[in-house]
Amino acid sequence: MFIGHFSAAFVAAAASRRAPSLTALFVGAQLVDWGFFTFSLIGLEKMRIVPGITAMNPLDLYFMPYTHSLLGTAVWGFAFALVALVKWRDVVAAVIGFLVVMSHWVLDLVTHRPDLTVAGGQHKIGLGLWDHPLPAISLELALIFGSFLYFIRRTRGPIVPPLILLGVLLAMQALNWFGPPPVEAGPALYLTSLAAFLILTLIAGWVGSTRWHKREVGLAVESLHR
C-alpha cells in the first residue's frame, strides 16, 4: 500500500471542517513510514530486498517494531494527536489525526505479508494481498479515487490543484508498480521514499490552501477565494 494510505487524509479533510489541515493529514497518513525510513537510515529498523518474496514487490520488512507494530503505530498516533491538540486546540482535530495515523496499520495489515506485529516480538501477521496483484491494485485505486471524489464533493475551490495532486499520486504509484524494483535496501531507497512523501505533502499543502470545506462557505469566504 502506497497512495492508498492518503485516502484517509482525503476522507478526514472532507468529513469535518474541524479536521487538521490537508498538509498535516498527508503527514499523518504516512507518519509511520516517515518514521520507518528515517529509522532505517540510522539502523533502528531494518529491511532487505528478497526477489519474489511477494508477487508485487521484493521488500522483506523484517524488523520494524517501533513503527509498524499496532502498539508502535498507536504511540505515533498519540504523538500526532498531541501536536494537533496543541496547534488547533481542538479535541476533534486531535481525534481525527489519531485515526488517520492508525489507518496506516489497518491498511498495511490487509496488504502486507506477515511482517507486522501487535507489540513487537516474534509473532507476525499480515493478510498478504501483495501476493494477489489484481485485487491489490483494485483496492488501492478504489481507495484513492473514492476518497478523492468524496473530498472534491465536500469541498469548494478550483479543480486544477487537486487534479495535479491526483496525477502526481497516480504517477508515483505507477512507478512503484511497474518501474524497476529496488535491488538494494540502503540510503538511496530510504531517501527516495522520504522525498516522495515530502513532494506529495507539499502539493497537498498547496491544494489545502486553495479549497475550503463546504460548511464554511459564505459570502466572506467565497469573496476571499475568487
pLDDT digits (tens, 9 = 90+) for 192-212: 999 999 999 999 999 999 999
Could you tell me which of 159, 104, 110 has the C-alpha nearest to residue 130?
110
Q: Which residues pair with 212 in a beta bridge?
A: 156
Range of the domain at 86: 3-225
**Ramachandran sector of residue 50 (left: φ over 0; alpha: ψ -120 to 50; beta: rest):** beta
| Residue 65: all three cell numbers together | 517494531
Could you tell me which of 53, 49, 30, 33 has the C-alpha nearest to residue 41?
33
Q: How many domains does the chain have?
A: 1
pLDDT digits (tens, 9 = 90+) for 152-183: 999 999 999 999 999 999 999 999 999 999 99
Residue 218 has pLDDT above 70, yes or no: no
pTM: 0.94
What SS3 class is residue 59? Answer: strand
